[in-house]
Structure 1
């Protein structure tokens, strides 16, 4: 297992942070009610957690680590429902079309960044484990 490059690790963190910060700055400056801001913020947090959970469960399956079908299905459901909740919220919002696009794109950038950071974390851990196994001859878990 090869460790991800420092450039890819940095790009992943930048994507995650830029997406999250842009989304939250947009919410902070929005002239919508606080309850609506809370809805969008909660959808962002839900989406980030769901995307990380989905990436982990997909990766676990690929590596032969047991994942229950209900958890795998719930991970997919949570990720898709977070995207759907954002889409429905934006569809019904009284925002300019450009603002709706801004929220949609910053949300998707944050989800992509979260998935990439999780992948890099997993790859780096696998790389360290492989290096330790090669050095000692024992599998490290």
Structure 2
């Protein structure tokens, strides 16, 4: 009986430093961010609202993403003992509250879009904010883990 010479299976080892998020978690975070932002933008592109309304919702998305990332950084810096001024910390909170309030008020008062569209924009906005925070956290965790290496 002849034996088959089976090639050895080569597993690719990905070196991951302790404290660094897994590649799967990083990929899921980036995917969620891209899906949320892309869905929101496609919804805006296909919406029948006026261009100034589309600009309003686009600006809220950009403002909300920046505010969420800024707040996450300020909270984490403060937690890790990195100096954060009270004014920056307060403005970060205020900016996020304002962004969420603006999307809520805008959707509540929007008469040109249906209730299901309002829900779509709200969910895409929420997904985008959460994913942006997670992506920023992953980047920082990776950087910190590699600095300890």
Q: What is the TM-score of this pair, normalised by structure 1?
A: 0.92
Once the two structures are superposed, residues 87-135 of structure 1 have per-residue CA deviations (whole angstroms, 9 ceiling, x without a partner) of 000000011110000000000000001000000000001001111xxxx
* Unaligned runs of at least 5 residues, structure 1: 132-141
Cα RMSD, aligned residues only? 0.6
Matched with 1:51 is 68
Alignment of 1:1-141 (within 5 A): 2-94=19-111, 95-131=113-149
Q: What is the TM-score of this pair, normalised by structure 2?
A: 0.87
Which has more helix, going by share of residues? 1
| C-alpha separation in 1, matches of 2:75 and 2:25 | 20
Once the two structures are superposed, residues 53-81 of structure 1 have per-residue CA deviations (whole angstroms, 9 ceiling, x without a partner) of 00000110111000001100100100111
When Rg is computed on C-alpha atoms for both structures, the one with the higher figure is 2
| C-alpha separation in 1, matches of 2:71 and 2:93 | 6
| C-alpha separation in 2, matches of 1:8 and 1:73 | 30
Structure 1 residue runs of 4+, over 6 Å off? none
